[in-house]
Amino acid sequence: MKASKHSFARVVQNNWFILKYGLRYSRKYILFACLYASLQEIEIFLEHVILIKFVFDSVQFGTSFSTVALYIGLMTVFIAGCFVLDSIYYQSVEPKGKELLYRKIRMELYEKAVRTDLSNYDDPVYYNEYVWSANDARNRIDATINNIRNLCKAITVIVTSVSFFLFVDKLGLLFVLVSFVSTLIVSMIVNKIRFKMRMELNEKDRKRIYLKRLFYMADYAKEMRLYAIREKFFREFSDTHKEMHDIVRKHSKKQFWLNFTSDYFFKELIFGGLYLAYVAYMALVKGALSYGSAITLMGSSRRLRNNMQFLTSLISEMQENSLYIEKLRSFLEQENALQETKDPLTVPDRFTGLELRQVSFQYSESGSPILRDVDLRIRPGEKIAIVGYNGAGKTTLTKLIMRLYDPSAGEIRLNGVLIDMYKLDEYRMKISSVFQDHQLFAAALSENVVMNAVSPSDPDSIRQALEKSGFGDRLRDLPLGIDSAITREFNESGIELSGGEAQKVAISRVFAKPTLLILLDEPSSALDPMSEYHLNQVMLEKAENRPILFISHRLSTTKMVDRIFMMENGRIIEQGSHEELMRLNGKYAHMFTLQASRYRVVAGAK
């Protein structure tokens, strides 16, 4: 998006986009903020313009003391009421309203993030946009509401001041109009330059932040001390700072001359010189203005001038804010390519088969195919292993089965029905899956097993699932059992698990809920071969006739399964039982033979 193409209509739409959140979730706060902002300026106008003019004119024209005293008394009561509203707003309405808005918009961002296409996370541009949007949402809320509140103030000042000028001195408005239009044009040009500079700096700043992490995060501490690569990062850190300095210097010159022109010619010369001379001439030479009018016109001219200047900068700030809201809005309004069909079907409770027909997949239209014409059928209760070297397309195949992606070509059917005809979330919940890069959360052990929105209600089934995964011995050593907190991030008594223990917890999820299909993408890679072999045996025995799909390049499991599919370069090149493939003496037999020394001991290979 280019700043130069950001129209005024889009500025209004984007600021309204944020304001709608305020009116939807915290209407009292937004309305109070706007009304209170206007009331403040009305109070200042009455006190500093009308009251002063009234007092001076009363002295000049001999108004009675009782009339003056009554007017001042009423003004005092009005100001006291404004102070009460001031306390209510800042002590109660604003903090409560802001916190509610922060929570609501962050929840929408998080909801959008977990429902967006997984393919977006493979796009670094999209990922940067999401991180930026999530981190900047609070700033956009604050900036928009402050801008709207300040806009109400400025409009109130302009309406009251212009009304006063029309009543007392119409010609003064010509000075205001010339100064305002000129300053506004220059400010908008400066704002576009500032935004362009910020975007160029952001690109460099991401690299600077990454380099900064290398020097203080424990993850990199050993490598930074053991290898000379740190010199490369020192040099890149210095170069990045120099590039950022050059960007600032390049854009600062333009901003200086534009701001000088605006401040001197369009603000001080017109308002600070010409108009004040005109008012003095009208009052002292021509006698066309009373002393009260002359004094308040000069005060009002400064007040109106300052608010016109403020309004020009405010419009510029709203324009700049709109450019950032555009990024946030684009993220929230982006449509997923992977959609749930209209009137989707309920996923059946009984599994009769899963079939892939001529399935191909590539991450982008210009990218290379990851899968090519894959045909695969899983029957009820069948145990299948998909093997191959890294990069063969095994993990991508599992993501298609779980409908984290849709095939580029071909179709996937569950029980004879295309999987995109089913309810999306329900379909995914019918598959138990564990990945090599599984994640545990800063929550109770039981919650990490059941992985559900509701609190675990069946502790016995959770313990059984952990026993089946091989975590039983460690569980019995935990004083709090399944209520133990995972990690110490939010709980000092939390437990830290080794890589193998963490994998066992992740694998226990397979046994914690009834599903149609179990899908295991190298979940035991952190275990030693003996533990892996025994764990796979338990899975096969405890699967309760559910079909299992193993993904692996370690072959300790393959002798136990019904069928094996060997993948290479996105294609299935061999299939059959272990014995059949060994007799074929192809790629699978070669791969198994290379690993035989390990698995003769582990798997009892003949």
Calculate what percentage of the chain has a pLDDT beyond 90: 14
Minimum mean pLDDT among 508-517, 564-573, 589-598: which range? 589-598
Taking each helix axis from N to C end, the angle separating 596-603 and 529-542, rounded to the nearest 10 degrees, works out to: 50
**pLDDT for 332-356, tens place per residue?**
887 777 888 888 999 998 999 999 9
CA 589 vs. chain centroid, Å, equals 48
Mean pLDDT throughout 519-530? Answer: 70
Q: Higher-confidence residue: 364 or 524?
A: 364
Q: How confident is the model at residue 454 (pLDDT cuts 50, 70, 90)?
A: low
DSSP run (H or E) holding 209? helix 172-216
Whether 3-332 and 439-514 share one fold: the answer is no
Helix, strand, or coil here: 402? coil
DSSP run (H or E) holding 521? strand 517-521
Note the pLDDT of residue 295: 82
d(CA 368, CA 384): 27
Phi-psi region of 376 (alpha: psi -120 to 50; beta: other; left: phi over 0): beta
Domain ranges of the chain: 3-332, 352-430+517-606, 439-514
Note the pLDDT of residue 4: 43
Minimum mean pLDDT among 100-104, 211-215, 387-391, 570-574: which range? 211-215
Say which CATH architecture domain 3-332 belongs to: Up-down Bundle (1.20)
90, two tokens: 């800042």
Fold of 352-430+517-606: Rossmann fold (3.40.50)
Mean pLDDT over all residues of the chain? 82
**pLDDT for 129-176, tens place per residue?**
667 777 778 888 888 899 999 999 988 988 888 888 888 888 877 777
Helices first, then strands: H and E counts in the chain:
21, 10
Residue 447 has pLDDT above 60, yes or no: yes
Q: How confident is the model at residue 575 (pLDDT cuts 50, 70, 90)?
A: very high
Q: Higher-confidence residue: 48 or 407?
A: 407
Mean pLDDT throughout 42-60? Answer: 81
Mean pLDDT throughout 442-453? Answer: 83
d(CA 606, CA 599): 10
Note the pLDDT of residue 412: 95
Note the pLDDT of residue 574: 93
Q: How confident is the model at residue 1 (pLDDT cuts 50, 70, 90)?
A: very low
Q: Higher-confidence residue: 435 or 272?
A: 435
**pLDDT for 525-568, tens place per residue?**
656 666 677 777 777 776 678 898 988 766 777 888 899 999 99
544, two tokens: 């309760």
**pLDDT for 590-604, tens place per residue?**
888 887 655 454 444
Residue 361 has pLDDT above 70, yes or no: yes
Q: How confident is the model at residue 456 (pLDDT cuts 50, 70, 90)?
A: low
**Does the reported pTM lie above 0.75?**
no
Note the pLDDT of residue 498: 84
Helix, strand, or coil here: 373? strand
Calculate what percentage of the chain has a pLDDT beyond 70: 91
Torsion of Cα atoms, 227 then 232 then 234 then 236, to 10°:
-150
Note the pLDDT of residue 6: 65
558, two tokens: 């393959």
Helix, strand, or coil here: 31? helix
**pLDDT for 216-255, tens place per residue?**
777 777 777 777 777 887 888 888 888 888 888 888 878 8
Q: Which long-range contacts (CB under 8 A, 24 or more apart) does 169-174 make?
A: 169/279, 169/282, 169/289, 169/293, 169/297, 171/278, 172/275, 172/278, 172/279, 172/297, 172/301
Q: How confident is the model at residue 489 (pLDDT cuts 50, 70, 90)?
A: confident
d(CA 56, CA 70): 16
**pLDDT for 362-398, tens place per residue?**
887 777 889 999 999 999 989 999 998 888 888 889 8
Q: Higher-confidence residue: 563 or 489?
A: 563
CB-based contact 17:24 (threshold 8 Å):
no
**pLDDT for 85-113, tens place per residue?**
888 888 888 888 888 888 888 888 888 77
Domain 439-514 has CATH 3.40.50.300: yes
- At residue 19's C-alpha, the angle toward residues 151 and 134, to 5°, is 120
Mean pLDDT throughout 182-194? Answer: 80
Buried b / exposed e along 196-218 (16+ C-beta atoms within 10 A): bbbebbeebeeebeebeebeeee
